[in-house]
Structure 1
Amino acid sequence: MNNSIAAIILTYNEEKHISRCINSLKNICEEIFVIDSFSKDRTVEIAKEAGAQVYQNPWKNYATQFNWGLKNCPITTEWIWRIDADEFLEGNLGPAMKKALAECNNEVNGVYVRKRIDFMGKPLLHGGWYPSYHLKVWRRGHGECENRWMDEHIRIFSGTTIIVEEGNQVDANLNDLTWWTEKHNGYATREMADMLMMEYGLDDRGKEVQAKFWGTEEQRKRWLKVKYIKAPLFLRPFINFNIRYILKGGFLDGKEGFIWHFLQGFWYRFLVDAKIYETKKRFGWNDKRIKAFIKETYLDK
């Protein structure tokens, strides 16, 4: 079997991370494509120096940008690897992936890898964050990024999947908390739109990962998100924090774990709820006007 791989990396002002990411892919990926959203720093220069092929396209959202890369990059490999600029391969993940792809049968169209998040320099190993398996590699022509504003997963069209247990795909952002909170403020707006689309049935469910508790990790996460949306505003962030930090042992990750769970599991989720509340109040709790706003602002662009 052909085990050649092309990596696709989306970037905007990623000069702190892009070299680390690309270097971890060398000798693993035959092709490395960077889709840049017109960075204002040295991202493009560094990526080219590291050997990546760089293309630029205006940003709309992650899914649109990634699928643009799938359609417009001159990919010749059998497989595609989705990796963010602030991520890198650790341990034996790369060689183990090449071996798995060389040995898998024709029915396999997707591969799950183990993801780890490092926050403020500390691996988060508790609270349900690790181990977490994500579909990051798939056979070219057999998958794409589902078209959502937030929590977008790779959806394969047919076939089976396997898991590579060795190594990690590590998410380790090097920016400070000011950057992190500003970015998550933007995420909260996208999450607000995504959750309202789901609440009002405006998401394209026929082309998205299906919600199933006993399905894949993506399907289970989508099922949990559907349940989360049905929970009361402002109460659900408290529930989420207590489940992850207390019941799932997030407190075992020390001060960094506490900061992460409070900001990610409570503050961010509370901000999303506040933005949902603000939007509904703005339109007088009128479902018809809210749906029209979501369609005009996020679907018709």
Structure 2
Amino acid sequence: MSVQDNAKHWMPGVAPVAVVMISLNEAHNMEAVLSNLKGWAQEVFLVDSHSADETVDIALRHGVHVVQRRFHGFGDQWNFALRELPITAPWTMKLDPDERLSNALKRNLTDAMQRSAAEGFTMQRRLWFMGRPLPVRHDILRAWKTGRCRFSDVLVNEHPLVDGAIAHVAGDIEHHDSPDLEHWLHKQNKYSSAEAIAFVAGTGLAAIPKLLGNAFEKRMWVKRHFFRIPFRYVGVFCYYLFLKGVWRAGKVGCIWARLRSDVYRYREYKVTEMRLTGRRPGATVSGCGRPDARVPQFD
């Protein structure tokens, strides 16, 4: 593990919690997320997968404890973080660089960590898209007593597994999903490829799928059998548009619902391609390289 040699250190905040993030090229989020945590988190850690932008520079400038490690999968990276980082705070919280904690959630979490007998906490995450909040919220498990959690060892869509009682804390995590549509499409393309690879390998489920199980097990059941459901993409679009109510966000909500159904479609097409060709989706080379000295150059 890399050793950080930096004079600046994170100034401990009022909450007895270590916030842990993983990153790859998240410079566009780092200033905002670290400003959001200032004065609140006791410790902040970052496991970076060798970013090519200023992610590490910004984190170090704010006094974050940074290590770097090659990315092998989301579950693997999070288990490394919980196993190897020198966390001293009594509580640990998972946060993504594109997320922000509301003031109400900060207050309620601080109080719960000091008073509750629970081993972990769920909270609501609200999605933002194209700079607008969507009426899409879901409960997520994001905080636990240090040492009481491990992650499902999956390539993508990892899930925290906490030993002990779980309580709910009121307040929102705001999920600012990508700075623009170009970034969003690129990210979803990568995620759908990872999900397709995991599906073909039979390792894409974070829990045992059960039609009559809890909410998470039911979701895994739908995920396993999704490709067999008739009119599935129309169903996904209508589910988000009407049942989740994103129509209330106007045109932005309709665009998001359509794009979400498209991402499911991309995953299925990639699974089909892999089964036909026997090849995994490959990394696409993009951008300009350096001039090649073997050939003439022109402006």
Shorter-chain TM range is 0.7 to 0.9
Q: How does 1:122-141 map to 2 (within 5 A)?
A: 122-125=132-135, 129-130=136-137, 132-141=138-147
**From 236, 242, 251, the counterpart of 1:240:** 236
**From 31, 56, 59, the counterpart of 1:44:** 56
Q: Take 1:72 and 1:273, find their aligned partners in 2: how far apart are those partners? A: 36
Matched, 1:270 2:265: yes
Could you tell me how far 1:178 is from its partner in structure 2? 1.5
Q: Take 2:115 and 2:54, find their aligned partners in 1: how far apart are those partners? A: 39
Give the length in aligned residue pairs. Answer: 267
Tell me the TM-score normalised to structure 2 length.
Answer: 0.82
Matched, 1:163 2:168: yes
Question: What does residue 94 of structure 1 align with?
Answer: 106
Moved segments of 4+, more than 4 Å:
212-217
Matched, 1:185 2:189: yes
Q: How does 1:215-234 map to 2 (within 5 A)?
A: 217-231=215-229
Q: Take 2:122 and 2:212, find their aligned partners in 1: how far apart are those partners? A: 16
Q: Take 1:51 and 1:220, find their aligned partners in 2: how far apart are those partners? A: 42
| CA shift digits 1:219-277 (9 cap, x unpaired) | 34323323425436xx422221122213443222111111111112x211111110111
| CA shift digits 1:23-59 (9 cap, x unpaired) | 2222322110011111111111111112211111111
Task: Give the secondary structure class of the aligned counterpart of 2:127.
Answer: strand
Question: What does residue 276 of structure 2 align with?
Answer: 281
Q: Take 1:71 and 1:184, find their aligned partners in 2: how far apart are those partners? A: 29
| C-alpha contact 1:134 1:218 (8 A) present in aligned 2 | no
**Greater fraction of residues in helix:** 1
Q: Take 1:218 and 1:82, find their aligned partners in 2: how far apart are those partners? A: 18
Question: What does residue 4 of structure 2 align with?
Answer: none
**Identity within the alignment, %:** 27
User: Which sections of structure 2, spanning at least 5 residues, go unmatched?
Assistant: 1-14, 283-299
What is the identity, as a one-letter code, of the residue corresponding to 2:22? L
| C-alpha contact 1:209 1:219 (8 A) present in aligned 2 | yes
Task: Give the secondary structure class of the aligned counterpart of 1:225.
Answer: helix
| C-alpha contact 2:50 2:70 (8 A) present in aligned 1 | yes
Question: What does residue 11 of structure 2 align with?
Answer: none
Question: What does residue 176 of structure 1 align with?
Answer: 180
**From 103, 111, 119, the counterpart of 2:121:** 111
| C-alpha contact 2:82 2:147 (8 A) present in aligned 1 | no
Q: Rg: which structure is higher? A: 2
Tell me the TM-score normalised to structure 1 length.
Answer: 0.81
Higher mean alpha-carbon deviation, 24-33 vs 108-117, is at: 24-33
| C-alpha contact 1:155 1:209 (8 A) present in aligned 2 | no
Q: How does 1:144-155 map to 2 (within 5 A)?
A: 144-155=150-161
Kindly tell me: are residues 28 and 222 of structure 1, through their superposed partners in 2, closer, same or farther at Cα, counting changes over 3 Å?
A: farther
What is the identity, as a one-letter code, of the residue corresponding to 1:226? R
Question: What does residue 259 of structure 1 align with?
Answer: 255
What is the identity, as a one-letter code, of the residue corresponding to 1:139? K
User: Which sections of structure 1, spanning at least 5 residues, go unmatched?
Assistant: 284-292
Kindly tell me: are residues 237 and 119 of structure 1, through their superposed partners in 2, closer, same or farther at Cα, counting changes over 3 Å?
A: same
| CA shift digits 1:73-97 (9 cap, x unpaired) | 1111211100001111113111210
